[in-house]
């Protein structure tokens, strides 16, 4: 009974999230008859459904409401704000304003494929690494340990500006997190010594 109730609760949350994403996207764009936008929204809806079905609820709770703010809450907040601005600008641009909605269709499709691949990678990473959370901190209450397993879509040029800014901050944050874990998490230094590259194979 408890399992059935928990599943029902997850599905209700998914329906609410899906409705919010869909209505907000169509509302900002001012148009629901944009095929690639509909594909983008459908992908987000499927992503959240899969996440709610396969992810450990404890991991989800820690990601949504971490027990500590971590070592760089301001940068994390700025990254989230830039991602939000990226989405809002992109949606308004492709539907209402049309400031720079001249991205070629093949490039849009390619970007959608990249976004889908990135979303799948995130789900896989969270599945194999229960300590994969937004904040940079050691999680002693969850027996934090090293995990060694590893695994333009909106059509708006203007939306690239906040997206690139968020990407730069994210790369810098990745470097800070790597340094923090090498100093604080037992075994991570040895793991880092075995893995030559942090983010881009052959580059960094």
Q: What is the pLDDT of residue 1?
A: 47
CA distance 137 to 159: 31
Residue 44 lies in a domain: yes
Q: What is the pLDDT of residue 203?
A: 61
The CA-to-CA distance between both ends of the chain, in Å, stands at: 49
Residue 202 lies in a domain: no
Q: What is the pLDDT of residue 8?
A: 86
Rounded to two decimals, the pTM is: 0.76
pLDDT per position in the chain (204 positions), as tens? 447 777 888 899 999 999 999 999 999 999 999 999 999 999 999 999 999 888 888 888 877 787 777 778 888 899 999 999 999 999 999 999 999 989 999 999 999 999 999 899 888 888 887 777 777 776 766 666 665 544 456 678 888 888 788 788 878 887 887 888 888 888 878 877 777 766 666 666
CA distance 68 to 137: 8
Residue 118 lies in a domain: yes
Number of domains forming the structure of the chain: 1
Q: What is the pLDDT of residue 151?
A: 43
Among 151, 116, 129, 121, residue whose Cα is nearest residue 45: 116
Residue 20 lies in a domain: yes
What domain range is 26 assigned to?
2-194
**3-state DSSP helix/strand/coil percent for the chain, to nearest 5?**
70, 0, 30
Residue 9 lies in a domain: yes
Residue 124 lies in a domain: yes
The DSSP output letter for 142 is G
What's the length of the chain?
204
Residue 200 lies in a domain: no
Q: CA-CA-CA-CA torsion for 175, 179, 180, 184, nearest 10 degrees?
A: 150
Residue 100 lies in a domain: yes
Contact 190, 162 (CB under 8 A): no
């Amino acid at each position: 009974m408890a399992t059935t109730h928990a599943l029902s609760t997850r599905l209700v949350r998914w329906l609410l999230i899906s409705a919010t994403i869909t209505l907000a996207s169509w509302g900002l764009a001012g148009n629901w008859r944009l095929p690639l936008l509909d594909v983008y929204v459908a992908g987000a809806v499927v992503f959240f459904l899969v996440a709610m079905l396969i992810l450990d609820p404890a991991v989800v709770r820690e990601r949504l409401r971490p027990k500590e703010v971590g070592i760089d809450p301001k940068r994390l907040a700025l990254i989230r704000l830039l991602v939000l601005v990226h989405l809002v600008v992109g949606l308004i641009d492709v539907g209402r304003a049309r400031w720079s909605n001249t991205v070629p269709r093949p490039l849009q499709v390619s970007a959608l494929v990249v976004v889908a691949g990135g979303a799948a990678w995130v789900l896989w990473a969270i599945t194999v690494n229960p300590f994969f959370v937004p904040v940079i901190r050691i999680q002693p209450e969850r027996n934090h340990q090293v995990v060694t397993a590893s695994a333009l879509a909106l059509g708006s040029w203007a939306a690239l500006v906040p997206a690139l800014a968020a990407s730069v901050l994210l790369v810098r944050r990745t470097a800070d997190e790597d340094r923090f874990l090498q100093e604080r998490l037992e075994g991570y230094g040895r793991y880092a010594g075995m893995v030559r590259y942090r983010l881009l194979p052959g580059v960094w």
